[in-house]
Amino acid sequence: MTTARAEYNALTPARSTVLERAREASALTIPGMIPDEGQNEHFVSVQPYNSVSARGVASLAARSLLALFPPNLPFFRLQLDAATARELGADLGEANMRMSLIAGTAYSMMEAVTIRPIMNEALRHLIVAGNGLVHIPLKDRPRFFRLDQYVCKRDHTGNFVTIVVREQVLPSVLSEDVRAACKVTTSDTSDEKPIEVFTVVRRLGDRVEQHQEINDLVVPGSQGSAPAEASGWMPLRWLMVPGSDYGRAHVTEYIGDILSLEDLTKAMVQFATVASRIIGMVDPNSGIDIDELMEADSGTFMSGYHEKVKFLQLEKSQDWAVMSTLAERLEQRVSNAFLLRTSAVRNAERVTAEEVRMVAEELETTLGGTYSVLSAEMQLPLVRRFLHIGARQQRIPALPSAVHPNIVTGFDALGRAAAVNRIRAFLADASQMLGPQVAMSFINGEEVLKRLGEGYAVEGLDSILKSPEQQQADQQNAAMSQAAVAAAPNMIKAATDAAANPE
């Protein structure tokens, strides 16, 4: 039987190119995110000369986190398939309410284990390295593993077949039974050295099995199994590469501009360093005492000719202008690549809100492909995992096959936003061409409000909009009020006549 260590070493060569590219991207953006071999994440061999890429990584990760996991808003909902929904008929409303409660419980479980910091770190690594591994155990807190801590093998459909994780653990944190079974010796000194622990995860049909090994021996009690769709192991990719076990990073897509900006910034810093030196040149035939000139205080009067003393100048202002212009263009292109909106909006005195909105929408739609990958490999497995954990802990019931989770953020939100913009543009054009009153006479206002509410993913839309019965009651009340107002003059006249002619 192949040991976990041997399997890890066998899958390492397929990861080498991806890992090398990830380390290069990390060195240009956030040094230490993917450390060099034999170094930890706090060691930085080379510091970048600019921070545009680092700021872009942080901004894009935060933007993606808000888009995928908006605060105080569940990013998924449970739905019934069409056939089951038709069979329920009038009971569909009660079923939707119960599914909403189940989804809310699962979402509360995610918030309880603080899933957002893990996902934020995962997104940062996906942007820079293109790959990352998230593990959500049944009881402990979620964990994230860097690309250099695991290897992965996928099948032709993109699903993982084998994952082997290597991590360092101190012997003192292991139980006595584990140390005895795996032949781990502890040191009495304070200089305790960590040992390697390998975790093997395999997909076998519709199940995922896992176990751990220390010193090529299986750790007692480490064996586990879970449904494949509810597995706690999620090997993530920023962009999927067909036929590859690993994904491609966002930084890799724009490495040319990032590398050019880094080299140009380095040259400009060196140029400025040389230009900042102050060196005076004195005519040797002027008879001026250099020592006396150097020791003179500010405001001192000295005899001599000023043209005999000059300061050394580079006289390369034109070269500096060329570098500065190119650096500005590169910085704008890199900023656009990371969706920094401040660089995308034109620099002008009057920039309309509609122009800013259109630029923001254009930037967001560029992430549509990435959101589709993250929806399938991050959000859906995350929801299924917590639904499985909730069922295991008996906090929620086990869901039948007719109920399935549906992601409502990320790529799905982009589609709804596009639908809302089409409705907005249609109403604006109709009002402009026909006039507001004529246009509204042809438009079903209730249906427009429903479409807008669905596009904005408004919760409880049925309770916000009035029902047909409520609208009819309001119309009757309005008619009665108008009738009362119309009858008021006659009532006043009758009362006046009665007062003037008492019987």
**Tokens 């603080």 — which residue?**
114
pLDDT for the residue numbered 491: 64
Two tokens, residue 429 = 């054009």
Q: Domain spans of the chain?
A: 4-37+45-253+367-389, 410-464, 467-503
Tokens of 215: 């010193």
Percent of the chain residues past pLDDT 70, beyond the cut: 86
Round to whole Å and give the CA distance between 131 and 374: 11
Tens-digit pLDDT profile for residues 107-149? 999 988 889 999 999 999 999 999 999 999 988 899 999 999 9
The residue among 114, 112, 104, 116 whose CA lies nearest residue 68 is 116
The pLDDT, as a whole number, for residue 344 is 47
> What is d(CA 236, CA 227) in angstroms, rounded to the nearest whole number?
18
CA distance 262 to 266: 6
Residue 280 in tokens: 């005076």
Q: How does residue 80 score in pLDDT terms, banded at 50, 70 and 90?
A: confident
The pair phi, psi for residue 161, each rounded to 5°, is: -105, -45
Residues 404-413 have pLDDT tens digits of 888 887 666 6
| d(C-alpha 317, C-alpha 201), whole Å | 61
Residue 195: which of 161, 224, 219, 160 has the closest Cα? 219
* pLDDT averaged over every residue in the chain: 84
pLDDT of res. 30: 92
Confidence class of residue 299 from pLDDT cuts 50, 70 and 90?
confident
How many angstroms separate the CA atoms of 44 and 27, rounded? 8
Q: Average pLDDT for residues 355-382, to the nearest whole number?
A: 74
- Determine the pLDDT at residue 251: 95
Instruction: Compute the average pLDDT of residues 2-13.
Output: 94
User: Cα 270 vs. chain centroid, distance in angstroms?
Assistant: 36
- According to DSSP, the β-strands at 217-218 and 224-227 are unpaired
pLDDT band with cut points at 50, 70 and 90 for residue 349: low
User: Of the ranges 107-116, 193-202, 291-300, which one carries the lowest mean pLDDT score?
Assistant: 291-300
Phi and psi at 82, nearest 5°, equal -60, -40
pLDDT over 90 percentage in the chain: 37
pTM, two decimal places? 0.79
| Residue, of 486 and 149, whose pLDDT is higher | 149
